Amino acid sequence: MTFSADERRDLRQRYLQVDTANVADVLDQLGHTEYGLSSEFWPIRERLEKMGGWAYTIRGQMTPYPGTGDPKKMEAVSGIGPDELSVWSGGGATGICFFGELIARGMQHRGSVGALVDGGIRDIEWLARMNYPVFARYRTPVQSIGRWQVNAWQIPVYLPGATTERVLVRPGDFVLADFDGAMVIPAELVLEVLEQAEALTAQEQRIREDLDQGATLPEVLAKYGHV
């Protein structure tokens, strides 16, 4: 299914009103059980961070190289657009920074709405001051130049999963991340999952209201079923 720019923006805003837990439950109910990402992804502002966006993938690898920059990296980051979220696949290379404040600022100016980094980030203090959510595997001051290099972008990539070793993320899939973790929603399921997650969110609100009014948990379960 192809969405217009306005539809993509609207869907993204709607996804930000539901939780990853409900999205995970809906995907399970639909038989798509392996789209949760590893719990090693953490938000730089744990109590504030929530992000959702259309995946813009960037892949790199550890490789020594001469010079003072990574031209492919600069080309890759300049291609991102509105309502897109950069997904960095780097094999979780320990100790190397893939992403920092200046790249984040450049992407944000192009309309990007966040970053999910299978590797390290730095400039944490500056990133935390920006209205730009970032989830990453670890933090490190060690730069990637001369050590880790971008080799492709806007291709399918793998990220570490919660219940499986690897989760496939394709350009145009949707990524939602919040305090509980991160989920990937395949592009062809985006609307179906959203509508069911919205319905589940509304049901949970009714359950909270019943409990607040004195209903017991068995009564709530009998009324609404498994929650």
Q: What is the CATH number of the domain that holds 31?
A: 3.50.30.40
Across the chain, what does the average pLDDT equal?
93
| Domain-embedded: residue 223 | no
| Domain-embedded: residue 26 | yes
| Domain-embedded: residue 203 | no
pLDDT band at 213 (very low <50, low <70, confident <90, very high): confident
pLDDT band at 212 (very low <50, low <70, confident <90, very high): confident
Phi, psi dihedrals of residue 153, rounded to the nearest 5°: -150, 160
Number of domains in the chain: 1
| Domain-embedded: residue 196 | no
| Domain-embedded: residue 202 | no
Q: In the predicted model, is pLDDT for residue 107 greater than 70?
A: yes
| Domain-embedded: residue 204 | no
Residue scoring higher pLDDT (221 or 107): 107
Q: In the predicted model, is pLDDT for residue 167 greater than 80?
A: yes
pLDDT band at 68 (very low <50, low <70, confident <90, very high): confident
Structural domain boundaries, residue 143: 5-187
Which 3-state string (H, E, C) describes the chain?
CCCCHHHHHHHHHHHCCCCHHHHHHHHHHCCCCCCEECCCCEECCCCCCCEEEEEEEEEEEECCCCCCCCHHHHHHHCCCCCCEEEEEECCCCCCCEEECHHHHHHHHHCCCCCEEEEEEECCHHHHHHCCCCEEEEEECCCCCCCCEEEEEECCCEEEEECCCCEEEECCCCEEEEECCEEEEECHHHHHHHHHHHHHHHHHHHHHHHHHHCCCCHHHHHHHHCCC
Q: In the predicted model, is pLDDT for residue 188 greater than 90?
A: yes
For position 45, what pLDDT does the model report?
85
| Domain-embedded: residue 198 | no
pLDDT digits (tens, 9 = 90+) for 12-27: 999 999 999 999 999 9
| Domain-embedded: residue 225 | no
